[in-house]
Structure 1
Amino acid sequence: MHSVSPYLMRCFNPDADGKQQQQRYHVLDKIGNSDLFELIKNFINSNLGEYKIVDSSKQVYQFSDLQYNDETREITAWFNVGSYGMKADIINIKTGEIDFEKAQNNAEIIKHYVHFFVPKGFNEAIAFTHTYRGIGIKTLFLQLFSDYFGKATKLVMQMNPLSYDNAVNAWLDATAKEVKLTKFVGVKDLADQIKLLGHNEQELIIKPPRNSGLGKLRDYLNKNSEQFKAIEIINEYGAQIKTVVEMNGKKKTFNIGNNSSSSLCEIELDEEEIVYNEGVPDYVSLRKWIRGIVREYSSSMYPSLTIEVA
């Protein structure tokens, strides 16, 4: 239900023709007279408070709870986003009664957590964006920030999915403890359709024998492995396939299978480490959890360097 997606932020250097690979992108704290850390911080700060409207996508947005650390060069905030444009009824799931009639000009606001790490002296930064029930905000954020970034630098910001091969290598050898298959089943009874909003959901959890495992995480990404072939088969019957892996007593859940946009571009929130307030992740516990992931990414991406983070 709740997950975060990691992205790599870069800025191409248009004067890089003929230069070495590492010079094709700007060092992000030296983009001319600009520093990406300061640009992100100032952009978010300028969008605190009053909601703003994006007519093209019929969305409204604002930022809140901005926090930043000049030493570790991390920035965190809530990116509060809603959509408008269609009338809808808001019902009480316990009674089936309408509690509120959402008008065409009303927008339901969802709090999305964003987290940025911009290490000094590097040509790349890491960003995490929060997704709820498959609804994310990366496209909207990049659209808005790209305009701001372009005006400040006359350049283009890239924000691409951070793939497993250069980010979470440590977890590739983690043991898979569970495979979860979620299947959506239509319901025929009209009363059940109203209660369940049109569908039922079944979850199959596959667990290994005691003191055993279901292979390594890397097995589920290897097209020649038995695990990958099995996922291909059961993928036809389910809407979501996830694997729970464990390493050094810690667990993480990754989306796998053809239905995920990228095998390891979504990491589910750890239900044991994050507190929820009426379904919304607690800011403090979520920030602490993601800072741990940032530390893991940094040690994997820059193993020979000491990067101050978290």
Structure 2
Amino acid sequence: MKRVSIAVYGFNIQNDQNQMLDLNSFEEVGLSEVFESFMKDNANKYENISRKEKVFKAEDWNIFNVLDENKRQRYLFMIGKIKTGGYGMSSEIINPETSETNYEKGVGEAEVLPFYFCLAIPADHATRGILILQTIGVYSMKSVFEHMFEKKLKLYNSNHQFITGNLAPRQYIENYMQNGILQRIHLVQYERPVNRDERLEVDFHCKAKELVIHKPVGFITQKREIISGYLTGRRTLTDIIMINDFEFQELKMDFTKGKRTKTINLSNLSKLAITEDITGAISFEGEFPSKESMMEALKSVAEDYMISMGTIA
């Protein structure tokens, strides 16, 4: 069974003056109408994105108005399923048990996989929303989704831009330090390869060594103030932890909270990223997650983020 993870991003829509638009009402239609039109337009056949050597197709979608206990709209939740994959390289499909080649995939053939995603925006006036994208192992849908969604957006106004960014507000990370359980610390050391062919293969960086500290009991209690200082730019990574004779460039922490495992990468504050392993929170239909369990998992994560950001109560 493949591990099912998600990546969470913030998003907004900007005009040619770099002003963020109201997601509920821009162009007199709002995001929900754009989302539904986007999914319908891409549901009939695979779109060939030749410059990315990828194909894209919408499969299924739903829109929900989530209400509070007084039956007032709390936020809008849009979930979709797409299929996408790349072509442009031939490969052999091998049976791992027999080591025999079952099939040779040609350069013009694409292997497609299904991915779930969701968009969530607070009710009333909202300029920022939550975008959650599923990943499957090393496979992601981010670049092709952003390309296709902005293409649709520009049909409403050619000057509009769909802006996404990593989302990990300080209070959200501190909430995990307070209420989550730190399971592992990852320290990653990189070295620049000398061999040109190796540089091309690994995109100019080569992972030299990773040091993993398991069950670091008491670490958060001892380092909470220093980590908070790092999040506000007053401390460095090596203030958080230092290992003799091990100079690292990347620091990640794995937290568990309920059935979810969250990895927080602290290595670059401008691109502070959080991924979550939700395998334990979903059920499967064959090899892939069921729609119902993915819907509940994504809704729970989106709501958790919006509460932590203070955009919903």
The normalised TM-score by structure 2 is 0.73
Q: 1:75 aligns with which of 71, 74, 78?
A: 78
SS at match of 2:27: coil
Q: 1:66 aligns with which of 41, 53, 61?
A: 61
Query: Given that residues 175 and 214 in structure 1 are in contact (C-alpha distance below 8 angstroms), is that contact kept between their aligned partners in structure 2?
Result: no
Q: Could you tell which deviates more after superposition, 169-178 or 130-139?
A: 169-178
Q: 2:42 aligns with which of 25, 47, 50?
A: 47
Amino acid at match of 1:173: Q
- How far 1:236 sits from its partner (Å)? 4.7
Question: Residue in 1 aligned with 2:192?
Answer: none
Question: Residue in 1 aligned with 2:92?
Answer: 89
Amino acid at match of 1:25: M
Question: Residue in 2 aligned with 1:126?
Answer: 130
Q: 1:254 aligns with which of 238, 259, 263?
A: 263
CA shift in 2, pair 1:175/1:118, >3 Å:
closer
Q: Which runs of 5+ in 2 are unaligned?
A: 67-74, 189-208
Alignment of 1:174-253 (within 5 A): 174-179=179-184, 181=186, 204=212, 206-209=214-217, 214-215=220-221, 222=230, 223-224=235-236, 228-230=240-242, 236=248, 242-247=252-257, 249=258, 251-253=260-262
SS at match of 1:90: strand
- How far 1:166 sits from its partner (Å)? 6.2
Q: Are positions 1:149 and 2:153 aligned together? A: yes
Distance 1:261 1:280 in 2: 33
Query: Given that residues 81 and 109 in structure 1 are in contact (C-alpha distance below 8 angstroms), is that contact kept between their aligned partners in structure 2?
Result: yes
SS at match of 1:164: coil
CA shift in 2, pair 1:98/1:261, >3 Å:
farther
Question: Residue in 1 aligned with 2:12?
Answer: 10
Deviations 1:154-201 (A, max 9, x none): 332232224212672422434543116599xxxxxxxxxxxxxxxxx9
Query: Given that residues 88 and 107 in structure 2 are in contact (C-alpha distance below 8 angstroms), is that contact kept between their aligned partners in structure 1?
Result: yes
Question: Residue in 1 aligned with 2:178?
Answer: 173
Distance 1:229 1:165 in 2: 21
CA shift in 2, pair 1:41/1:168, >3 Å:
farther
Query: Given that residues 181 and 256 in structure 2 are in contact (C-alpha distance below 8 angstroms), is that contact kept between their aligned partners in structure 1?
Result: yes
- How far 1:28 sits from its partner (Å)? 1.4
SS at match of 1:291: helix
CA shift in 2, pair 1:253/1:217, >3 Å:
farther
Query: Given that residues 47 and 56 in structure 2 are in contact (C-alpha distance below 8 angstroms), is that contact kept between their aligned partners in structure 1?
Result: yes
- How far 1:227 sits from its partner (Å)? 7.4
Deviations 1:34-68 (A, max 9, x none): 21121012101211131111111111110112122
Distance 1:236 1:37 in 2: 44
Q: Could you tell which deviates more after superposition, 41-50 or 55-64?
A: 41-50
Query: Given that residues 231 and 257 in structure 1 are in contact (C-alpha distance below 8 angstroms), is that contact kept between their aligned partners in structure 2?
Result: no
Amino acid at match of 1:133: G
Alignment of 1:255-270 (within 5 A): 255-256=264-265, 258=267, 262-263=271-272, 265-270=273-278
SS at match of 1:64: strand
- How far 1:217 sits from its partner (Å)? 7.7
Q: Could you tell which deviates more after superposition, 29-38 or 277-286?
A: 277-286
Alignment of 1:30-45 (within 5 A): 30-45=25-40
CA shift in 2, pair 1:285/1:260, >3 Å:
farther
Q: Could you tell which deviates more after superposition, 96-105 or 160-169?
A: 160-169
Cα RMSD of the aligned pairs, angstroms, is 3.5
Q: 1:26 aligns with which of 21, 24, 33?
A: 21
Amino acid at match of 1:4: I
Distance 2:262 2:100 in 1: 36
Deviations 1:119-147 (A, max 9, x none): 33211221111223343222211211112
- How far 1:284 sits from its partner (Å)? 1.8
- How far 1:70 sits from its partner (Å)? 4.1
CA shift in 2, pair 1:132/1:117, >3 Å:
same
